[in-house]
Amino acid sequence: QDWAGKRVDSFGSRVLWNWELDGEFYPGWNERVKEWEEEGIRTLVYINPCLSTRVEEFKPHGRRNLFEEAKERGFLIMRENGDVYVQSSASDEFQFGTVDLTDPEAREWYIEVVINCNIMCSCTVANTRYPPLKEFEGDVKCGMGGEGEGVKGWMADFGEYLPFDVVLKDGTDGARRHNDWPRLWAGVNGEAVGRKKNWKEYLFFSRSGSLKSPLVASKGGMFWVGDQNTAWDGNDGLASVLTAYLTAGSSGFSLTHSDVGGYTSLNVTGVVDGEETNVYVGRTGELIKRWMELSAVADCMMRTHEGNQADKQLQVWDTPDLIASLKFWTDFHVLLHPLRRVLLKEASKYGWPLVRGMWYDYGMESFGMNSQFMLGKDLLMAPVFTPGAETVEIWIPRGEWVNLWTCEVTSVEVPDHVVEVEAPVGRPAIYVPWGEKRARKYSKKIWEGLGMMEKGGRCEELYKWKMPWSKKDEGEREL
């Protein structure tokens, strides 16, 4: 994320929003990226539609000052008096301008200079049409290597910061454009990827979204649900992630994920009602593990994040226990890949979300339920959102359901079967709807990957179980 360099302010360690490689911060970048490429590993970086001020102060060795270039060319959003509209993010010290996405020339400049040249390393247009405004020695080229030697994806952050009182190139005001701004931003990224003949090799993921964002991001794009707090709660912690998945999925955002462990931590001391009070929000090992469990099943891409205070926060690599948990759950995420490929095809063809509310297949009486979900029609999961909990309450619909970890069968004949089940850390409540042919097929692949299909064992014996309905009935169910 910090490929473009870093700066530190009162909020924490921040990325310098001047979108070109900082070769002093990352010496040997080109060689390392090539090594990873040879190992089958693709590198992702980070951008947003904003440009930092004070670049010369924090990055005097930079080749381009993109804020000054955009300002000189008239590519930034403006105030009514004609001044560039400068905003701040999370602290007063961190100031920036925003590229005017309603200006076709500004969009083209961003695509060619930032994405096509500085990320993808195709710099011909950037060199000839948009050369840097300051003099420097040597040819203008991508800092990541030679022509065409770029990285294969990026986080497309922000896109929701447009103020209401701006003046835009197309004559509209910020109030009218605000909710549409995420679509314009996703469109810039989607257009840049779509121009590549090998566009299927590229990926970007956006934080913001509006009505038609999935459409303009259809080539290479997906979404994530923002910068949650490093906490458990349903307002902006771990529990809020599932709510976001369910509402986004019902709104056309089929492909979503989150930052494992959360992003925003706080350690603030102030005076409340005359008394000095400390507010601390931070990660624990248990929180990270529970987040891994949810992400391994629900996320179309499982991804960690160091957070806004990386040097003060617990990281997934800090203890052998967390490293072992990360290995297990990333391996588990990979075991779901064959099923996820099927669900991705459904998402592409029909717009169906991967993470589905219970109401999709089990009736409107479960509408609004945000404590459990289905992955497609194939896995039922009730994540744990309470610290210290070893059990979880789950609603199991009618039918036969198999516990993924024990292969024990639960047969339900009543509509309101709500039970409390075991869910220790590392073994969350996950059930297979045994009446679904596809679910049986892919659960077998999971058990094989986990080494649970030993001959004569409970999981292997399941496939000898005579189903309580005929093949004809099963065909009607799937239809």
Query: Which one from 160, 180, 361, 393 is the annotated catalytic residue?
Result: 160
Distance of CA 20 to the CA centre of its chain: 22
Is 227 noted as a catalytic residue in this protein?
A: yes
Query: Which one from 2, 108, 173, 227 is the annotated catalytic residue?
Result: 227
Cross-strand partners of 31:
none
CB 52 within 8 A of CB 17: yes
Strand, coil or helix: 14 = strand
- Phi/psi of residue 145, each to 5°? 150, -160
Is 157 noted as a catalytic residue in this protein?
A: yes
Query: Which one from 157, 236, 293, 436 is the annotated catalytic residue?
Result: 157
Pairing of strands 355-356, 12-15: unpaired
Provide the token pair at 371. 């404590």
Strand, coil or helix: 304 = strand
Distance of CA 318 to the CA centre of its chain: 22
Distance, CA of 32 to CA of 424 (rounded, Å):
39
State how far the alpha carbon of 374 is from the alpha carbons of 55, 127, 318, 377, 432, in Å.
Answer: 47, 49, 32, 6, 10
CB 329 within 8 A of CB 295: yes
> Which residue carries 């999981």 as its tokens?
459
Is 38 noted as a catalytic residue in this protein?
A: no
**DSSP per-residue string spanning 268-300:** EEEEETTEEEEEEE---HHHHHHHHHHHHHH-S
Distance, CA of 44 to CA of 27 (rounded, Å):
17
Question: Which amino acids are annotated catalytic?
Answer: 157, 160, 227
